[in-house]
Copies of this chain bind each other. A is one copy, B any other.
Amino acid sequence: MIKCIKCEEVSGIAKAGQIRGKQRYHCKHCNYYFTLQSSSPDSNVPPSSRSSKHHATILDIAGKLKISKSTVSRALRNSKEINPETRNAVLKMAQKLNYVPNYFASSLVRRKSYSIGIVVPELITNFFSQFIIIAQKAASLAGYEVVICHSNENYSNEMDVLKRLFAYQVDGILLSLSSETKSLEHLNVFQDAGVPVILFNRVKNRPGFPKVLADDYQGAFAGVEHLIKNGYRKIGHIGGPGNLQISKDRFRGYRDALIKYELEFNPNWIVYYDLSPLNAKKCAQTLLEKPTPPDAVFAVNDPAAIHLIIEAKQRGIRVGPELGIVGFSNDSRSEVIEPSLTTIGQPIEQMAETCIHLLLNKINDSRFSLPATTILKTTLIERCSSKK
């Protein structure tokens, strides 16, 4: 039987909703609402982490200084319209009280999160890791936080993380598409909300989405040209997923180099790699088991090239003399594998900084018009896998 904790009546007590999981009661005699105090020993411990200390707010500063919170806010942010003395006093008091501004309150009223989202397809190869490092540094210099997400080369993951980033109200997005992504409709929500999205590296040709990328065509062309100049003639290709622009451009570079030097273009020497680790091995095998295999291969990226080196070595094929190989992206393993892998280096740092600067420009001035495409130079890194 429940007893009213005020008038101590036992009849006329009705349940009235719940509070923080506890049953609430109502006494009709004294018209009083109450919950039963649990008799557990830790009843004085607040259930949530309310125990954490109170953070100093601008109101605390204002109180101590006997000024208004508007003035404090001004002192903390607007350099103008404030007496330098007041300003210093506020700054000193803020320091003294360990004042830390509340991003949530600020972001709520300013409708800006001061954070940008970066979505990458993977973090295994070091291209994206390095990209993130540079991008994060550049962003934080401008006072922006970076939220990093990865799609794991999966379209539905990509949609999920973008949804989360949208809910998080990032001010902009840097996106490198997953190998599965075929449509950009999941980006409409950002377009509608006026949140700028820049595609990088793994892009798609769609109007309205600016792109920052390496010169994949030129890089591939240079890689294949390098093979040709080193005396290889039957040059094959491990291509990437057909829906990625990167695959198409690198393929075009490969093909055009063959055309320029009037070499045989043999579809039998081309296999396609879906970017999954298992598939890399299979691609290498398929290529090497051809009745008349190529004497050189340009691979769409280093993982494919590396697996090709491994497979070739296992079959006793001497990589270099018997099989020239050129990769793309300068993976950390490419320097260490034997023979070391000739590859195309991407301007990661430049790419990351360009992305951030373009994005921040757009964020800070919606009238800023983003260049549709920014293409950055690649460099041929000559190593041993392409020497006869």
Contact = CB atoms under 8 A, between A and B. Distances in A.
Given A310-B336, A332-B333, A168 B194 contact: no
Interface in A146-205: 146-150, 152, 164, 166-169, 189, 192-195
Interface in A315-342: 332-333, 336-338
A17 interface: yes
Q: Please give the count of copies of this chain that the complex contains.
A: 2
A278 interface: no
Interface residues of A, number: 58
B169 A52 contact: no
30 contacts: A18-B80, A18-B81, A48-B366, A49-B363, A51-B366, A52-B194, A53-B194, A55-B193, A98-B189, A102-B169, A103-B168, A104-B104, A104-B113, A108-B108, A123-B123, A123-B132, A123-B133, A124-B129, A124-B130, A124-B332, A129-B129, A132-B148, A133-B152, A136-B150, A140-B164, A146-B148, A310-B336, A332-B332, A333-B336, A337-B338
Interface of A: 17-18, 42, 45, 48-49, 51-53, 55, 80-81, 98, 100-105, 107-108, 113, 123-124, 126, 129-130, 132-133, 136, 140, 145-150, 152, 164, 166-169, 189, 192-195, 306, 310, 332-333, 336-338, 363, 366-367
